[in-house]
Amino acid sequence: MCGIFGYIGDSNAPTIIHQGLKRLEYRGYDSWGISILQNGNIKTIKDIGHIPETIGKRFVSNIGIGHTRWATHGGVTITNAHPHFSTDRRFVVAQNGIVENYTSLKKKLEEKGYIFKTEVDTEVIVKLVENELSNGKDIQEALIESFTNLEGRNTVILLDSKSNEILAIRNGSPLILGIDKTEIYLASDPLAFNQFTQNVVEINNGELILIKDSNYKIYSIEKKKYIERKPKKVNFSDMNVDKGGYSHHMIKEIIEQQHTILKATQYTQKELAPLIDRLKRSRNIYTIGAGTASFAGDQIAYYLRTIAHKSAISIKSYEAQSYLNIINSKDSVIAVSQSGETADTLEAVEILKKNGVHISSIINMPSSTLSRLSDTSFMSNAGSEICVASTKVFTSQISFGYLLAKSLIGEFTSAKKELSLLSTNLERYFTKKLLKQIEDISKILKNHEHFFILGKGQNYHIAQEGALKVKEISYKHFEGFAAGELKHGVIALIEKETPVISIISKDMNYKDLISATYEVKARKALTIGVGDRKFQKEKCFDYFIPVANSNELKAISNVIPFQLISFYLAKTLGNNIDKPRNLAKSVTVK
């Protein structure tokens, strides 16, 4: 989940790398480091915590690498921060991934006399390269040989002072090249350099990239030969990283949903036709994702079942193993991911792909691994989402799922009208009065630790996603349940003043939600309703948060208050809203 950045060009490398790392910081912000080559020597600066707004003008160079860390092995210390030096300080290495056989490799190297100074698995890679160099190999051969000894999903970048070059190898964890005349950028995510160029070269697993003197070469480790691959232009529109006048990225991204649900569904019937035809012929449709993307997949499967009457099953990518042997070429899989680089999702998709399963994907990042693995791929078009907690991408993905389900039954046009109606209503929804109301409720919730969210039918998965959103940023214990589970154990957890939030919509389930709310109120719970305005006078609610009017898209209307509660509760508590503790946006390790 770490971020990697490399640069060679005519500009000052430390400045460019610093800018790139700031854009990659959502991938991890436990520590950071920059190494550059100056007068034949490698100079390194690194520290723990967030990357500062400026690093000053300590170094001048045209070549260097950088890293922002999400800790896996070893504590958050300056010593453990990347990049890591070789013993003779000839080269430095940074890594994204986990060396799964780290312990056994370290033991063998220690037996050879190598001394380890850090707690990180990356140092094993450094020592392996040192060992290969001592056996007479050049730096490229040494890195390749070392890399073949690693188990797990790893991407490694190396800066060598002797050859004045950057080398990197990709396996699992993402890596992409950006080209602009004499400027070459190498990063975990095109967002890191899209302000400089839209010309990219995709790097596949098992490939080494060598950058020297503003030129690049790609080498296939398996085929043992160089590969010719020219840049292609990728549209990075809307991939900006500024706050647009808002206090935080999160509130900006929540409010942007009034527009992003339309951008996510701007596809024509002709563009959807191949996938629609495939889904019509499929025995079963499986959605797969992790975290918020898994709840998006749950909601998409719900639409496919209830609207299109298809056999649709949602599975968590990190628990997909038991499904892999029953999904075959008669089925279709829709993979959901914000980054397109989620490790658990990619691992499952790779197996399914080998089994001949048709893969479609819904992603928000151009040129991702998942898009390349997919038979058909659709962009969420939500623009850059900088806050670690996903908001607008979630609603963009379920909006696309809704359009897909309606199109399967020939109601493409009515789906577009419904999406347009909700977009218009959301423009009117984000008033100062509404935001103040939610902020005031969040202040009341501040002193509580345990919260429960009840939903049913179309709101069941919204209860789960709503709970995830609030716990991610507030660090409070929120749990989302199907309302029917209340009497099967959950009600035993209800004590005096326990906050219980009920999601209630104008549908066949509303009486069940009102009944459940009265049951917890009888146990002296603090009750909050989220839903259509017609229910705000129900006496079972101590507080009520109205939602934007919609017909079939209650899921989007109802999830937004939880996003806002998450924001205002975290703000009241003084938490870091855009970069919550222990989390990273792109989960590229298992």
Q: How far apart are CA 167 and CA 94, in angstroms?
A: 11
Q: Tell me how far apart the terminal alpha carbons of the chain are, to the nearest angstrom.
A: 9
- 132, 158 contact by CB (below 8 A): no
Evaluate whether 3-233 and 431-578 have a shared fold: no
Q: Residue 74: how many CA atoms within 13 Å on its side-chain side?
A: 24
Tokens standing for residue 326:
């029953």
Q: Does 3.40.50.10490 match the CATH number of domain 239-429?
A: yes
- In this prediction, residue 395 carries a pLDDT of 98
Per-residue pLDDT of 46-68, as tens digits, reads: 999 999 988 877 788 999 999 99
- CA torsion angle for 143, 146, 148, 150 (degrees, to 10)? -120
Of the candidates 189, 195, 141, 191, the one whose C-alpha atom is nearest the C-alpha of residue 169 is 141
Q: How far apart are CA 100 and CA 174, in angstroms?
A: 18
The strand pair at 232-233 and 84-85 is best described as: unpaired
Asked about 443 being catalytic, the answer comes back as no
Residues 534-563, buried b or exposed e (16+ Cβ, 10 A)? ebeebebbbbbbbbbbbebbbbbbbbbbbb
Report DSSP letters for 167-188, one per residue. Answer: EEEEESS--EEEEETTEEEEES
Beta bridge partners of 92: 85, 159
- 482, 463 contact by CB (below 8 A): yes
Q: How far apart are CA 553 and CA 551, in angstroms?
A: 6
Q: How far apart are CA 200 and CA 189, in angstroms?
A: 11
- 392, 260 contact by CB (below 8 A): yes
Of the candidates 500, 481, 477, 471, the one whose C-alpha atom is nearest the C-alpha of residue 566 is 471
- 36, 13 contact by CB (below 8 A): yes
Sheet holding 31-38, edge to edge: 41-48, 31-38, 63-69, 3-8, 183-187, 176-180, 199-202, 232-233
234: left (phi over 0), alpha (psi -120 to 50) or beta: beta
Mean pLDDT per segment of 10 residues, for the chain of length 590 residues? 92 94 89 95 94 85 95 91 97 95 96 95 96 96 96 95 97 92 93 91 95 94 94 76 90 97 96 97 97 97 98 96 95 96 93 96 90 95 92 98 98 97 96 96 94 95 97 95 89 92 90 93 95 93 96 95 98 95 72
Tokens standing for residue 226:
């160089």
Q: How far apart are CA 384 and CA 399, in angstroms?
A: 17
Place of tokens 């928000």: 364
CATH, domain range 431-578: 3.40.50.10490
Tokens standing for residue 437:
């109301």
Tokens standing for residue 385:
């989402």
Is the sign of the CA dihedral 327, 333, 336, 342 positive or negative? positive
Beta bridge partners of 477: 450
Report DSSP letters for 348-375, one per residue. Answer: HHHHHHHTT-EEEEEESSTT-HHHHH-S
Q: Residue 384: how many CA atoms within 13 Å on its side-chain side?
A: 22
Q: How far apart are CA 335 and CA 297, in angstroms?
A: 8
**What is the pTM (predicted TM-score) of this model?**
0.89
Beta bridge partners of 376: 360
- In this prediction, residue 412 carries a pLDDT of 98
Q: Where are the domains of the chain?
A: 3-233, 239-429, 431-578
Asked about 585 being catalytic, the answer comes back as yes
Q: How far apart are CA 516 and CA 494, in angstroms?
A: 12
Beta bridge partners of 208: 169, 219
For 3-233, give the CATH class: alpha beta
- Active-site pick, 416, 456, 521, 585: 585
Query: Residues, the chain, total?
Result: 590
- In this prediction, residue 55 carries a pLDDT of 87
Q: How far apart are CA 91 and CA 140, in angstroms?
A: 12
- 188, 200 contact by CB (below 8 A): no
- In this prediction, residue 71 carries a pLDDT of 87
Give the count of beta carbons closer than 10 Å to the beta carbon of residue 95.
Answer: 28
